[in-house]
Amino acid sequence: MTTARARNLFGTDGIRAVAGEAPLDPTSIFAIGLALAHSLRNAAAEPTVVIGRDTRESSPWIAATLAAGLRQAGARVESAGIVPTPAVAFLTRAHGFQAGVVVSASHNPWRDNGIKFFGADGFKLPDAVELAIEEEILHQASMKHTPDPTSLSAVDDNPAFQAEYIQFLIDCVPGLSLGGKRIVADCANGAASAIAPELFRRLGGDIMLLNVTPDGRNINDHCGALHPQIVAAEVAARGAELGLTFDGDADRCMLAGARNNVINGDAILLMVARDLKARRLLTGNLVVATTMSNMGLEAALMRSDIRMLRAPVGDRYVLEQMLEFKAALGGEQSGHILLPHLATTGDGMLTALVVLDLIARSGQSIDELTADLKVFPQVIVNVKVRERKPLESIPAVAATIRAAEEQLKDSGRVVIRYSGTEALARVMIEAESEEAMHHHADAIATAIRIELGV
């Protein structure tokens, strides 16, 4: 009940919508600031909040409106400026802020934006806390307290926060030097653009940075982790050893090898799991992945006597299982990797440095480290939907899904879910046969499109 209620505003990664439209219109954003500050007054008379943002055209005015609501309700606000989402989580905990707020829509197009919260411990807020804040947001929004746009003043950015986050990243991989290595890094014209130049300058090496000139509208635009083939092609063309690519808020990382090949989160989990196990840091010899992770990952981990659990898609659900089973490693195929001994949330730049450190210590290339990962053919088809009706309640769709499950049995998997951040149904089919994979994916996607498509 509470989870469904919370999803009125909160998706799996905060509140997300087209900037300027409800619930990201000025009235709602001001109400979000009021509600958050009110919720924090139980912990402190004058709660302190740090805000970070990505490079979207709408991020400055959303941050200013949010700060106005927070201040109106008695909170003190500081700004880290343009920083990755995980930087806000780190700064919140490191400086004792009562909350951290990120203005970002992550991998979404530039017209979208979002607001997500971190608690004082640096973790994303639990569902129950989000529900309580949501109820207060809806109450405050009904009062129609819209600030005068001319009265809004931007919060002065503190550049020391960026420098502190960069130092934190370097401290996580002591002794790492990239001298002598040629690497391509795609910053998606997003938050990584503000961090990567100084970070890689300090680490040395021949680092070619792509998409580091954000203009407010080019974030994720045919670049970054949503288009890893771009950096893969650049690695091959420039004779580099490795490619790194981040999404708009830099909480995920995808890689590329020297053969114009993309290396996703599954392969990262395999490499890091084996390394942690060799160093006796993989508690319980356990990795938490999601329902989207390939069967090939499970098989490769099993060969190394490492168990794999599957959580629902969404880093908060991966983290829930990690905490329950005391796992040291978890993540998603999308490149969102969780390393709780280093950070409280997924961090794309940290993931990149961990992999670079692993390569340096092992003396092996990224392709050698992932050579035995035999990936089952897998396809994901996204279907735009007008509503998120339970698929099992639609006879034609349910029958098509059952037929696929019965025919694939132990030779494949069927995972159908709604996106937590977009109006999409995602159809994932994995099978030994590419013909069967495409057949079932097309059949299910067509059934959904006919019944629920836009």
pLDDT digits (tens, 9 = 90+) for 395-416: 999 999 999 999 998 789 999 9
Q: Mind telling me the catalytic residues?
A: 106
What pLDDT does residue 63 have? 96
Q: Which pLDDT score is estimated for 225?
A: 96
- Residue-averaged pLDDT of the chain: 94
The whole-angstrom separation of Cα 224 and Cα 410 is: 35
| Strand 337-338 with 330-331, pairing | antiparallel
Q: Which pLDDT belongs to residue 146?
A: 76
pLDDT at site 22: 93
Mean of the pLDDT values across residues 65-69? 94
In this structure, what token pair is assigned to residue 176? Answer: 């790492």
Note the pLDDT of residue 294: 93
pLDDT score of 193: 98
Quick one: pLDDT at residue 1? 28
- The predicted-structure confidence for 220-272, as pLDDT tens digits, reads as follows 999 999 999 999 999 999 999 999 999 999 999 999 999 999 999 999 999 99
pLDDT tens digit string along 308-322? 999 998 898 999 999
Stretch 165-186: mean pLDDT: 97
Asked if residue 174 has a cis previous peptide bond (ω within 30° of 0), the answer is no
Residue with tokens 């004792």: 96
**Predicted confidence band of residue 13 (pLDDT cuts 50, 70, 90):** confident
**Residue that is written with structure tokens 């680092």 in the block:** 207
53 and 162 Cβ atoms separated by less than 8 Å: no
Mean pLDDT, residues 175-201: 97
Phi/psi class of residue 180: alpha, beta or left (left: φ > 0; alpha: ψ in -120 to 50)?
left
Contact 188, 247 (CB under 8 A): yes
* Amino acid letter for position 100: G
Output the pLDDT for position 43.
Answer: 80
Inter-residue contact 240 to 271 (CB < 8 Å): no
Are the beta carbons of 235 and 257 closer than 8 angstroms? Answer: yes
Q: How confident is the model at residue 7 (pLDDT cuts 50, 70, 90)?
A: low
Q: Model confidence over 27-55: pLDDT tens digits?
A: 999 999 999 999 998 888 899 999 999 99
CB 142 within 8 A of CB 132: no
The residue type found at 390 is P
Task: Answer yes or no: is pLDDT of 57 > 90.
Answer: yes
In this model, does residue 2 exceed pLDDT 50?
Answer: no
Confidence check: pLDDT of 6 > 90: no
* pLDDT, tens only, 80-136: 999 999 999 999 999 999 999 999 999 999 999 999 999 999 999 988 888 889 998
Compute the distance between CA of residue 336 and CA of residue 338 in angstroms, rounded to an integer: 7
Residue 420 has pLDDT above 90, yes or no: no
pLDDT at 4 over 70: no
Q: Closest Cα to residue 382, out of 441, 333, 336?
A: 441
H/E run at residue 441: helix 434-452
pLDDT tens profile 343-387: 999 999 999 999 999 999 999 999 999 999 998 898 999 999 999
Higher pLDDT, 422 or 97: 97
pTM for this entry? 0.88
